[in-house]
Structure formats: structure tokens, C-alpha cells
Amino acid sequence: MKTKTLLEHPVTIFFFKCVVGLMFIYASLYKIIDPGEFARSIQNYKIAPYGITNLMALILPWIEFLSGLFLIIGRGMIRGSTLLISGMLIAFMVALISAIVRGLDIECGCLFSSGQSSDYDLYLSLFRNIILLSMCFLILRSVLFPPKKLSV
């Protein structure tokens, strides 16, 4: 089977939807449980104004959770969920690159709080987000341009 055909196969797309959706659901859980810690993680990036970080810490995890859930189970919501997740991934990647370039010694705040920070963590998170964004691209492509069925 060719690589292009494998990446477009419905089972592969379903796998990608599950991986991305579950990753976003998992990432949202600690943030929903401890929004104060997540607000501190947002503030560490020194990008968002201090006044809105608490609001972001309350709203963003629920957007992550619902978009991940709808990506997995929502037939009519796959396009919207994928676009929303792609937008969040791009924003997260911009924040990560900004932290790396500015030499910030911070924890990613992406999946859970380990209490330790390292450049390796930021690079690993950036790499993970690139992979997830690639999966989102393939999911979106399958929704916008479904494979043509051969007529017999």
C-alpha cells in the first residue's frame, strides 16, 4: 500500500481523530481540575496580559475538552473541531517558539504540571504539536475532500 493511500485510509483517519481527540481531552483534565496552576503556566510565557490569564485558564481547558470529544464522536462537528484544535495548536506552537527564542526557563503547561522545567520539555512539546497539527491537516483534508468511491 502506498504511503499516500495509507494516510488517506478511513481507518488511519479514525486513528488520527482518536489520537488528537484523546490528547486534547487528556490535556484538558488537569487544567480543569487546577485552573490556578494553569493560569500560572500561562503567565510564565509572558505573552498574555495578566488580567486575562485567569479567564483563559477557566475557558481554554473546556474548549480543549469539548473539541477533543466532538472530534472523536461528533459526525457533523469534525470540521469545526479540527479547525479549532488546529488553531489552538498553532497558537501553542507560537507560544512555545517565543519561550524558546526568549530563553525562558519554564514548564510547558501542556499536559500536566511536573514542577520541573527544561528546554527539552519545550522542544518535545513543539515536536508533539507539529505531529498533532499534521494529523489535523490529514483529518481536515479527508473531511473537505473525501476519497472518491469507485463506481462499478
Residue 151, pLDDT > 80, answer no
Global pTM value: 0.88
Q: What's the domain range around 22?
A: 3-144
* Amino acid at the residue 141: R
Tens digits of residue pLDDT in 56-90: 999 999 999 999 999 999 778 999 999 999 999 99
Mean of pLDDT over the chain: 89
pLDDT digit string (tens) for 29-57? 999 999 999 999 999 999 999 889 999 99
Assess if residue 134 is contained within a domain.
yes
DSSP letter (8 states) at residue 103: T
Cα distances from 111 to residues 3, 86, 101, 128, in angstroms, run 30, 17, 21, 11
Query: pLDDT-based confidence at 105, cuts 50/70/90?
Result: confident
Whether residue 149 lies inside any domain: the answer is no
Candidates 113, 110, 112, 114; CA nearest to 129 is: 110
Any domain includes 46? yes
Residue 55 lies in a domain: yes
Domains contained in the chain, number: 1
In a domain, 29, yes or no: yes
Is there a domain that residue 152 lies in? no
Over residues 15-21, mean pLDDT: 97
Residues 22, 67 contacting (CB under 8 angstroms) = no
Task: Confirm whether 67 is domain-assigned.
Answer: yes
DSSP for 60-74, please give it.
HHHHHHHHHHHHHH-
**How is residue 12 written as a grid cell?**
488511519
Domain presence at residue 150: no
Q: How high is the pLDDT of residue 111?
A: 72
